[in-house]
Structure 1
Amino acid sequence: MDATEVEEGRVSFTITTRPDFANPLGAVHGGICATLLDSVMGCAVHSTLGPGVGYSTLELKVNYIRTVPTDGTRLVGTGTVLHSGRSTATAEGRIVDERGRLVAHGTTTCLIHQPQRGAHP
């Protein structure tokens, strides 16, 4: 994955499909899109957090819209924060192909890990 846009609350990464991404039917495995969505949505959440504050994915929902070939298609995933609170954050994500067609979309809930008082890094 390559980062193409990083700003507070919004992150975009690209990935280029290849044959070893194939599922048994020869198309890109759904886990590739799930990983891209988890990455952009999680990093979008991370971009809103202060120093020493961490996060982990608590829930991930993915909707697959179209089959993606393994022929070097460039996919762009974008994650956008919807809410960033003290204990949880939510974000939505979209993946489009090089023609701008929606491939998959999803949402996430992240658990926010506040630094412990008195703890040393």
Structure 2
Amino acid sequence: MSGLELLRAASAMPDRAGIGTLLGMTVEELEFGRVSFSLVTRPDFANPLGTTHGGICATLLDSVMGCAIHSALDAGVGYGTLELKVNYIRSVPIDGRRLVATGTTLHVGRTTATAEGKVHDEAGRLVAHATTTCIIHR
């Protein structure tokens, strides 16, 4: 299966395991070069200041950007994150706020790929944005 076909098949599995399940991620969109996931904040996402820990947004961004790259890969080709750069714009309460992250490919080459991602809150405000570089495993 192509990367996109594999992502679609995996998202349809009823008993998925992994980081997405742990954080309660929901697949919103799976297209070639573009992926969106959402999650709802909860108290166990809190940092010491009582707002959503930055690692939650970083994980959400790493997931959508990596999967956007994966969606553009041929069958049998994998990837791994080489670099992740996140910019945080505003804090997010832990009281059940829905966050939606979208990752989009910028470049998919033979040995590396790049993507960008954005996280918005339920009011449409930008919460964080990021870029990534991934290595392609052929």
Smaller-chain TM-score bracket: over 0.9
In the TM superposition, what is the alpha-carbon distance from 1:68 to its structure 2 partner? 0.2
String of CA shifts for 1:1-38, please: whole Å, max 9, x gaps.
01110000000000000000000000000000000000
* Overall identity of the aligned pairs, in %: 75
Report the number of matched residues: 114
SS of 2:113's equivalent in the other structure is strand
Check if 1:6 corresponds to 2:6.
no
Q: What letter matches 2:129 in structure 1?
A: H
Structure 1 ranges of 4+ moved more than 4 A: none
Give distance in 2, aligned partners of 1:87 and 1:10. Answer: 20
CA-based RMSD: 0.2
In the TM superposition, what is the alpha-carbon distance from 1:81 to its structure 2 partner? 0.1
* Pairing 1:8-87 to 2, within 5 Å after superposition: 8-87=32-111
Give distance in 2, aligned partners of 1:97 and 1:5. Answer: 16
Name the structure with the higher helix share.
2
In the TM superposition, what is the alpha-carbon distance from 1:71 to its structure 2 partner? 0.3
Q: What letter matches 1:3 in structure 2?
A: V
Check if 1:113 corresponds to 2:137.
yes
SS of 2:91's equivalent in the other structure is coil
Bigger radius of gyration, 1 or 2? 1
Q: What letter matches 1:33 in structure 2?
A: C
Structure 2 counterpart of 1:90: 114
Calculate the TM-score normalised by the size of structure 2. Answer: 0.82
Structure 1 counterpart of 2:12: none
SS of 1:31's equivalent in the other structure is helix
Q: What letter matches 1:65 in structure 2?
A: I
Name the structure with the higher strand share.
1
